[in-house]
Amino acid sequence: MDRFHTELGKSQHIVCLTGAGISAESGIPTFRGAGGFWGKYSATELATLEAFQGNPSLVWQFYAYRRETVLKAQPNPGHLALSGAERCLEKSGKKLTIVTQNIDGLHQRAGSQRVIEIHGSLFKTRCMVCEKVEQNMDVSICPALAGARPPDPDEENRIEIPEKDLPRCKHCSGLLRPHVVWFGENLDAAVLDDVYRELDACDLCLVIGTSSLVYPAAMFAPHVAARGTFVAEFNIELPVGFGNSDTRFSVQGPSGVSLPVALAPLLTETKEPDT
């Protein structure tokens, strides 16, 4: 940790790569495993363009349920440590940017300003007709989806919502879809350009709550490590191990516990003096 604090003190531009692990500590289910979001459905039934075109009612029930689940959650100490570090660094002309695979918006709710969402956001919609993207933080995105529950795979008990009652564009009345990257869709090229611009400029990279196995995100940390930049991993699982022993720092355990300790030199600076 002393070595990490030394690198932290020298850093001018930090990039943090975050994944589902940091949100799981706020009580947001992951997708797979017991209690996962997928439940009895497969990803292809709920998170592809073809699934949406074939059954928008089913897909919107799933995403409305996710929205309401996330809105009940709160940012945890890991989220708050990152936002506090960002504020501190900005005061001295330095930068901290978060590149997240999460679509839950918890970083922004914690106060982080510099957030790149590579997979989109649960709280943005995109019109299938005019393609306009807009933010929507309403608890119920439309009356028909109020109090959303996980969609029931049993066809006899499944609720079918008419398409006209699903979220509609207020500009052209077209059907809205969640503004997220579904399986089989490419990440936005402009977003990726922003990510690599940050990665190429950073002098310290934190990998938080992600196994870094899904492409293209799997290449982000190796891209940084390849030029000898210090990479620090904070993960509940065993570290993946980017870079060599001279440029690598790893902590196994909840990031909500480890990040406040790791970023303590910055967070201490943000505290108001006693009066």
Catalytic residue, from 13, 119, 171, 179: name it. 119
Judge whether 27 is annotated as a binding position: yes
Is the four-CA dihedral 253, 211, 86, 66 of positive or negative sign? negative
Cβ atoms of 159 and 152 closer than 8 Å: yes
Judge whether 21 is annotated as a binding position: yes
The helix (H) or strand (E) run that includes residue 200 is: helix 189-201
Judge whether 211 is annotated as a binding position: yes
Judge whether 169 is annotated as a binding position: yes
Closest CA relative to residue 207, chosen from 157, 259, 166: 259
Surface-to-core class of residue 244, CB atoms within 10 Å of its CB (0-12 exposed, 13-18 middle, 19+ buried): exposed
Surface-to-core class of residue 34, CB atoms within 10 Å of its CB (0-12 exposed, 13-18 middle, 19+ buried): exposed
Judge whether 24 is annotated as a binding position: yes
Extended strands (E) in the chain? 13-18, 95-100, 115-117, 120-127, 133-135, 176-180, 204-208, 230-235, 248-252
Judge whether 236 is annotated as a binding position: no
Cβ atoms of 64 and 8 closer than 8 Å: no
3-state secondary structure of 63: helix
Distances (CA, A) of 167 to 72, 103, 219, 266: 21, 19, 36, 43
Judge whether 25 is annotated as a binding position: yes
Judge whether 127 is annotated as a binding position: yes
Judge whether 116 is annotated as a binding position: no
Judge whether 201 is annotated as a binding position: no
Judge whether 31 is annotated as a binding position: yes
Judge whether 34 is annotated as a binding position: yes
Is 5 catalytic? The answer is no
Judge whether 36 is annotated as a binding position: yes
Judge whether 88 is annotated as a binding position: no
Judge whether 33 is annotated as a binding position: yes
Question: At how many degrees (to 10) do helices 255-262 and 77-91 cross?
Answer: 20
Residue 219 DSSP one-character state:
G
Judge whether 104 is annotated as a binding position: yes
Surface-to-core class of residue 49, CB atoms within 10 Å of its CB (0-12 exposed, 13-18 middle, 19+ buried): middle
Q: What residue numbers does the annotated binding site for NAD(+) cover? A: 19-38, 101-104, 209-211, 255
Q: What residue numbers does the annotated binding site for substrate cover? A: 63, 66
Q: What residue numbers does the annotated binding site cover? A: 19-38, 63, 66, 101-104, 127, 130, 169, 172, 209-211, 255
Which residues belong to the active site? 119
Q: What residue numbers does the annotated binding site for Zn(2+) cover? A: 127, 130, 169, 172
